[in-house]
């Protein structure tokens, strides 16, 4: 059904939820509004949450989609010195500047490292941590386990200017975008930007335990290949009683390919 956005002006949150969310999410929208902070992964920006954010806002929730330094609309700030701590501070700074509390913080892929660091710094402000198809790291872990630029290049190919993970056209299908979905394929091809490699090399430091002890959920996008590290991460957390475990029937970029199901799960 096509919805004219002008028709939404003056409409109550419950009615908007009924138009823009599937029935399950519309029913859940009667719950008290929540505050969501949605953190993107490698190559992306806050823009990738557009579809999910629209649905959550229509249901009456507050939604923030920060773009990490050097990516998306902040690509002009890209520099070799950007590390994991830079990105953690991006999210911590947002939460503090907006004076947010009872935050449902969501990380996708590499963003799971970022939200773990934010949980460690701001435990009292986090209501729930959601790990969307990415690792839930322990103190000292590195994203991908890489310890040098040479290891990254052996696994992922040459770095751009020796410092950045380059965007390659062939990577878009790896995010689970079906070949028939030419609109979203073109959208990602236009918007993905190089990612600072140092963020993969920095070990995460969690003096306060990261998200351990907080309510948290692990979400596996179950169309990952049989040898995918994502499948290994999911199995670890499925057996971990400190996590609720959920699955989405899609490829890696759930927020793009199944925004209704992703929004429904977050409202749940």
Interval 151-176: pLDDT, tens:
999 999 999 999 999 999 888 998 99
In a domain, 144, yes or no: yes
- pLDDT of 245 strictly over 60: yes
3-state secondary structure 209-230: CCCCCCCEEEEEECCCCCCCHH
Supply the pTM of this predicted model: 0.89
At 32-64, the pLDDT tens digits run 899 999 999 999 999 999 999 999 999 999 999
Residue 25 is predicted with a pLDDT of 47
In a domain, 109, yes or no: yes
Structural domain of residue 132, as residue ranges?
12-267
Helix (H, G, I), strand (E, B) or coil at 39: strand
pLDDT in tens, 206-232: 999 999 999 999 999 999 988 889 999
Residues 107-157 have pLDDT tens digits of 999 999 999 999 999 999 999 999 999 999 999 999 999 999 999 999 999
Residue 7 domain flag = no
What are the C-alpha distances in Å from 256 to residues 45, 193, 195?
12, 17, 19
Q: Which residue bears the tokens 């878009």?
A: 172
pLDDT at 15: 40
Number of domains making up the chain: 1
What pLDDT sits at residue 141? 97
Answer whether residue 2 is part of any domain.
no
| Percent residues over pLDDT 90 in the chain | 83
Whether 109 is catalytic is yes
Q: What is the CATH number of the domain that holds 223?
A: 3.40.50.1820
Q: Using CB atoms within 10 A of its CB, is residue 16 exposed (0-12), middle (13-18) or buried (19+)?
A: buried
Q: Are 253 and 176 in contact (CB under 8 A)?
A: yes
Of 242, 180, 176, 248, the C-alpha closest to 211 is 242
Is position 4 within any domain? no
Supply 223's token pair.
Answer: 């169309």
For all residues of the chain together, what is the average pLDDT?
A: 90
For residue 129, tell me if it sits in a domain.
Answer: yes
Q: Is residue 218 part of a domain?
A: yes
Quote the CA–CA distance of 96 and 88 in Å, as a whole number. 12
Distance separating alpha carbons of residues 72 and 74, to the nearest angstrom: 5
Catalytically annotated residue among 109, 148, 180, 228: 109
Decide if 61 is inside a domain: yes
């Amino acid at each position: 059904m096509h919805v004219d956005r002008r028709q939404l002006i003056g409409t109550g949150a419950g009615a908007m939820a009924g138009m823009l969310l599937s029935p399950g999410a519309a029913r859940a929208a009667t719950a008290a509004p929540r505050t969501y902070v949605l953190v993107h992964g490698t190559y992306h920006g806050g823009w990738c949450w557009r579809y999910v954010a629209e649905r959550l806002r229509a249901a009456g929730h507050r939604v923030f989609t920060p773009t990490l330094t050097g990516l998306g609309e902040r690509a002009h700030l890209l520099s070799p010195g950007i590390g994991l701590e830079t990105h953690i501070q991006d999210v911590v700074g947002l939460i503090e500047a907006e004076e947010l509390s009872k935050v449902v913080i969501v990380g996708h892929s590499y963003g799971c490292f970022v939200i773990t660091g934010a949980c460690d710094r701001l435990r009292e402000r986090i209501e729930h941590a959601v790990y969307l198809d990415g690792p839930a790291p322990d103190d000292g872990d590195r994203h991908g386990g890489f310890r040098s630029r040479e290891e990254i290049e052996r696994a992922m190919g040459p770095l751009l200017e020796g410092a950045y993970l380059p965007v390659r056209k062939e990577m878009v299908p790896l995010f689970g975008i079906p070949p028939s979905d030419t609109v979203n394929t073109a959208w990602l091809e236009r918007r993905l930007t190089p990612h600072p490699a140092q963020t993969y090399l920095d070990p995460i430091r969690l003096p306060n335990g990261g998200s351990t002890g907080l309510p948290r959920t692990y979400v596996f996008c179950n169309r990952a290949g049989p040898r995918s590290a994502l499948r290994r991460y999911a199995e670890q957390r499925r057996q971990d009683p400190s996590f609720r475990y959920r699955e989405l029937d899609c490829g890696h970029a759930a927020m793009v390919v199944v925004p209704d199901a992703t929004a429904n799960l977050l409202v749940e």
